[in-house]
């Protein structure tokens, strides 16, 4: 099966952007993926949206695709450059953990070079999109 579901949302450049990004992802795919995968997706999209708000410029867009194998989410703003530093200053560091979480929780993640378009991928576990259940054990 190759069913694919897409999401495209423009987010405000406002403090509520991360909340709206989480809500958009939950509303869009909560009934299509497992709860733990949804929790990870909400956390990661929130972190990337917060980064776009703090470090980016212009409009913020959220794009996502879901198929039987993976959830792919991208956050895009109109900035001209992305600095790809994972911080490692220890537990006393208060901020700057967003990309570390993306690194740890996602299957893969990256940046489209020349843009401030950061994406992450989460592999779907269990039954694939559209399946009713798992095959019976033999």
- Give residue-wise pLDDT tens across range 30-45: 999 999 999 999 999 9
Number of C-beta neighbours around residue 16 at 10 A = 11
Predicted structure pTM score: 0.77
Q: Bridge-partner residues for 113, per DSSP?
A: none
State how far the Cα of 44 lies from the Cα of 112, in Å rounded to an integer.
17
Q: Which residue has the tokens 């809500």?
A: 23
Instruction: Spell out the domains of the chain, with CATH numbers in brackets.
Output: 5-123 (3.30.565.10)
CB 134 within 8 A of CB 125: no
Q: pLDDT digit string (tens) for 55-77?
A: 888 999 999 999 989 999 999 99
46, pLDDT greater than 90: yes
Predicted local confidence at residue 132, as pLDDT: 56
Tokens of 39: 């929790």
């Amino acid at each position: 099966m190759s069913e694919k579901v897409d999401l495209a949302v423009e987010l405000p450049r406002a403090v509520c952007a991360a909340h709206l990004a989480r809500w958009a992802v939950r509303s869009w795919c909560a009934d299509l993926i497992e709860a733990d995968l949804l929790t990870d997706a909400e956390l990661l999209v929130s972190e990337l949206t917060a980064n776009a708000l703090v470090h980016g410029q212009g409009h913020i867009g959220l794009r996502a695709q879901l198929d039987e194998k993976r959830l792919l989410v991208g956050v895009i703003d109109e900035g001209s450059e992305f600095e790809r530093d994972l911080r490692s200053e220890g537990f006393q560091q208060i901020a700057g953990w967003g990309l570390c979480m993306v690194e740890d929780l996602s299957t893969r993640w990256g940046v489209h070079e020349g843009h401030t378009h950061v994406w992450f991928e989460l592999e779907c576990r269990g039954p694939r999109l559209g399946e009713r259940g798992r095959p019976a054990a033999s």
